[in-house]
Chain A
Amino acid sequence: MDTDLSLAGLATGLRERSFSSVELTAALLAQIAERNPQLNAFITVTADEALQQAAAADAALAGGDSSALCGIPLAYKDIFCTRGVRTTCGSRMLEEFIAPYDATATARLAAAGAVMLGKTNMDEFAMGSSNENSHFGTVANPWDDTRVPGGSSGGSACAVAAGLAPAALGTDTGGSIRQPAAFCGVSGLKPTYGRVSRYGMVAFASSLDQAGVFARSAADIATVLPHMAGFDPLDSTSSEHEDPWLDACTTQPLGTARSGRIGLPKQYFRDLGVTEASLQSACQVLEASGFELVDVSLPHVDAAIPCYYIIAGAEASTNLSRYDGVRFGHRCDNPQSLEDLYRRSRSEGFGAEVKRRILTGTYALSVGYYDAYYLKAQKIRRLIQQDFLAAFADVDLIIAPTTPDIAFKRGDLVDDPVAMYQQDIYTIPASLAGLPAMSIPCGTHQGLPLGLQLIGPHFAEKRLLETAASFQQQTDWHLQRPGQNPQAADSGSET
């Protein structure tokens, strides 16, 4: 059967009984079984549970369930706690951790009838830009298995790109959805901070973490998002922002935007490097569609990377204090003393990058350094937020590259953390400002995908998705699949 359909297509197929959810799920499980040994996109495949859920969905469909997600198989980043199924967060620390609760996001999707295929690979505790920091091994980029899929949600991006799941959940703290979406040639949305509950999502940096969606198109993302978004009494930072459009999304197809002002940050567009050709042609597509392109300035984005690594590290350093070997998680053998228990459990349980961030974060919060690092970073964060607010007074959306380059080779950056951190240069500012942002395929370089990033004002997911949908009506970059079209003509071609 053809599993390479849009979510709307799959939903129609299910409703018209062209195939059952069990058949669809079994077909995807078969592909996972075949390709996961090479791709390593999944840490845990929940085949039995998936088939049970699919059977239940088939019964619901037979009973007239009209949810667009009923019976649709999804993959979840292994950062979402799932009752009874282990949640590793890519770490040895949680290798055997089974939560007695569900994350709100996945629980809501399950309530809408979605089927969980399994838990996808990721950088340990979502810290990384290449998925090389996973305790469960690296993930291949389906376009070129010598290259990384991006990170930290590399497994989810890979699964969607390789056709192992029609859509997948990821989380984005500084770019962890957008960057792997760009590297793997799929669409990925990081919603506004607070749009989706963080409850049950293993915390990395609480003021930045946000759950989002990978799919093959903006329209598919719009099908999943409303079923996981919305205020959650279990998360004080989730937003009570009412959005009738989100509810409407559950029953109506996504519209397309045809007009509006799009800002091009001059700080980004003066040196686009390898992304130049595809970004310029994307601009032409948008302009031809009726959008007006104007220059905007984000004067403080230069400071975004250091600012981000201080704030995220500081929050992570204390969020990860609970992994102490006392109640759950990895515990060293035969601790000789309390200090020995802490030292060895944490030394053994955490990988190098996690340790690096705990140490830098601890340093930034220490007496004597707090003002110079943490407080200063908070001030910069406010300046960056103000930059965006000022820009959005003039424009409806901002576009930027998602990444500075195509996916890099495995191992290329592992010994150079600062160069690795530079990968997030275009994605971090929107994270610091809590803005919704998404990456959509906009071209290729050396046959590998590149992403166009759309950034909107708070709670402007509708505008992002409808603009992306408009772009995807005009172009077919999002339809390209790895392996189908090797070394095709790079960038710029329109349909």
Chain B
Amino acid sequence: MSWESVIGLEVHVQLATNSKIFSGAPTAFGAEPNTQACVVDLGLPGVLPVLNEEAVRMAVKFGLAIGAEIHPYSVFDRKNYFYPDLPKGYQISQFEQPIVGRGSLTVHVEGCEPQQVGITRAHLEEDAGKSIHDAYAGLTGIDLNRTGTPLLEVVSEPDLRTAAEAAAYFRQLHSLVRYLKICDGNLAEGSMRCDANVSVRRVGDPELGVRAEIKNINSFRFVEMAITYEIERQIELLESGGTVARDTRLYDAERNETRSMRSKELSNDYRYFPDPDLLPVELDQSFIDAVAADLPELPEAKLKRYVAQLELSNYDAAWLTQDPEVAEFFEAVFAQAGNAKLAANWVMGELSAALNKAELSIAESPVPAATLGELLQRIADGTVSGKIAKGLFDTLWQSGGDVDTIIAREGLQQVTDSGEIQAMVDEIVAANPDQVAQFLSGKDKVFGFFVGQVMKASKGKANPAQVNELLRAALKK
């Protein structure tokens, strides 16, 4: 009998506010340790938290974007536990009454139908500081810069069935928060951290298996690898007659394995209760409406528009809308070129390959969107052939410049004068009687030989469509 895995993700999204969720200290990454922690972050006696309204606005924005219910009344709770990088001895979070209720996200896995993944809730909380265990021999350093950074914890339903789906969900979430501009999406700096709850069961079993939680995974690839490993580990364990222990595990990317974090599984009692230092968050409809009015076109709507209006394939549309900067670039190219399919092919092909090779983001492209658009415009209007355009793109990539100026300077205009092409066609047909005979005897492939010869004779500048047309006519004579 085969196994089915059941996966739910909890993703901590670091909100891109300027200051912390309950204090005025800045949130910028990478400052000297303990220089961005004020008296509130340090938990000194008598200081009090004050809620950052911008964090609330961002949470509402996210909730609206996933079609969730925005709770007009939500409550901050204290989650109590002792740890040196948790200055107050409790984390302020939302437990029973989160700000964002049930919503969903559409996830695209290559080769599968788009899938709706349920989101149980999303709540606001403060981040803890960092314990640094390797900087001082025998001592632990505490850096409280991160303390109080606003987080939105997004909890999915256990709707995911494969590691690939889980990774796609994480990607889609990453895409969404960047569209919303509520998170910088920098996984390497920990701006999005994922905990995965993984269990397996026999196909058809209505009961869920015992789950393990893999903590703090911070890349798309590792999400997929960690979950794949964990599923296999659990199946092996069960098939060899063992049982899965409910535990918390860490993924070790170097060894590609998950390991139990705690030898004995203590059931932590966090003694949640409403934080008496903070009032409940009460949102009025006008606040929610104002946030709704400010929502950008979301990736899913954009994808549907690309398919319906631009007649792009679902795959292309998904590819182009994943990253808001890519979509923005594509739209600028398309606006100039006027041909969506051509723009899509170039952004996904030539440009993407060159960017990958140079390890650049699309925002850093040496060829600006407008320039690429002009180049494609010259393909579309027949000024240059696709092949010539690729060479021209390399020139633009290396040394920049204006498309039309380079075309004129280098004499790259496509030959569209049918008389000139006719002359070349006639000459080549006459010079190759054997190949003509082969073609006439039914060897269609030889046609390519003639095209190649004409293009060579024209130094690539002949209009391929005209070459085709005139060659066919000449060969049929």
Q: Could you tell me the distance between the alpha carbons of A224 and B42 in the complex, rounded to whole angstroms?
A: 32
Q: Could you tell me the distance between the alpha carbons of A198 and B45 in the complex, rounded to whole angstroms?
A: 11
Contacts of A97 in B (CB 8 A): 45
CB of A100 within 8 Å of the partner chain:
yes
Task: Name the contact of B50 in the complex, choosing from A101, A234, A367, A374 (C-beta under 8 A).
Answer: A234
B89 near A322: Cβ-Cβ < 8 Å? yes
A201 near B46: Cβ-Cβ < 8 Å? yes
Which one of A323-331, A409-417, A449-457 contacts B?
A323-331
Contacts of B88 in A (CB 8 A): 321-322
Task: Name the contact of B48 in the complex, choosing from A99, A236, A322, A366 (C-beta under 8 A).
Answer: A236
B89 near A318: Cβ-Cβ < 8 Å? yes
Chain B binding surface SS class: loop
A87 near B42: Cβ-Cβ < 8 Å? no
Q: Could you tell me the distance between the alpha carbons of A202 and B272 in the complex, rounded to whole angstroms?
A: 22
Interface residues on A, range: 35 or more
A308-324 contact mask (Cβ, 8 Å, vs B): 1 or 0: 00000011011001101
Task: Name the contact of B47 in the complex, choosing from A200, A318, A365, A366 (C-beta under 8 A).
Answer: A200
A236 near B47: Cβ-Cβ < 8 Å? no
Contacts of A101 in B (CB 8 A): 39, 44, 47
Which one of B201-209, B252-260, B274-282, B457-465 contacts A?
B274-282
CB of B338 within 8 Å of the partner chain:
no
Q: Could you tell me the distance between the alpha carbons of A280 and B50 in the complex, rounded to whole angstroms?
A: 47
Contacts of B277 in A (CB 8 A): 203, 206, 236-237
A87 near B45: Cβ-Cβ < 8 Å? yes
CB of B49 within 8 Å of the partner chain:
yes
B279 near A237: Cβ-Cβ < 8 Å? yes
Contacts of B276 in A (CB 8 A): 205-207, 237, 315
CB of B87 within 8 Å of the partner chain:
yes
| A314-B44 contact in complex given A324-B89, A326-B142, A338-B84, C-beta closer than 8 Å | no
Contacts of A199 in B (CB 8 A): 46-48
Contacts of A365 in B (CB 8 A): 80, 271-273
B89 near A234: Cβ-Cβ < 8 Å? no
CB of B43 within 8 Å of the partner chain:
yes
Contacts of A206 in B (CB 8 A): 276-277
| Chain B, 191-233, CB within 8 A of any chain A CB | none
A374 near B42: Cβ-Cβ < 8 Å? no
B residues contacting the other copy or chain, number (CB 8 A): 28
Q: How far is the CB of A335 from chain B (nearest CB, A)?
A: 11
Task: Name the contact of A321 in the complex, choosing from B46, B80, B142, B273 (C-beta under 8 A).
Answer: B80
A213-251 contact mask (Cβ, 8 Å, vs B): 1 or 0: 000000000000000000001111100000000000000
Q: Could you tell me the distance between the alpha carbons of A328 and B39 in the complex, rounded to whole angstroms?
A: 12
Contacts of B42 in A (CB 8 A): 327-328
Contacts of A89 in B (CB 8 A): 45
A99 near B44: Cβ-Cβ < 8 Å? yes
Most A-side CB within 10 Å, residue of B43, B46, B47, B279? B46
| Chain A, 92-111, CB within 8 A of any chain B CB | 94, 97, 99-101, 103
Q: How far is the CB of A200 from chain B (nearest CB, A)?
A: 4
Contacts of A81 in B (CB 8 A): 44-46
| A235-B48 contact in complex given A321-B82, A327-B43, C-beta closer than 8 Å | yes
Contacts of A79 in B (CB 8 A): 46
Q: Besides A317-B271, A318-B271, A322-B87, 14 other CB < 8 A contacts?
A: A81-B44, A99-B44, A99-B46, A100-B39, A200-B47, A202-B46, A205-B276, A237-B277, A237-B279, A318-B90, A318-B273, A322-B44, A324-B82, A338-B84
Closest 6 CB pairs of A and B: A321-B89, A206-B276, A207-B276, A365-B271, A202-B45, A322-B43
**Interchain Cβ contacts under 8 Å between A and B, 29 examples:** A81-B45, A81-B46, A87-B46, A97-B45, A100-B39, A100-B44, A101-B39, A199-B48, A200-B46, A201-B46, A236-B278, A237-B277, A314-B273, A318-B90, A318-B271, A321-B82, A321-B89, A322-B43, A322-B88, A324-B82, A324-B89, A327-B42, A327-B43, A327-B87, A328-B44, A338-B84, A365-B80, A365-B273, A366-B271
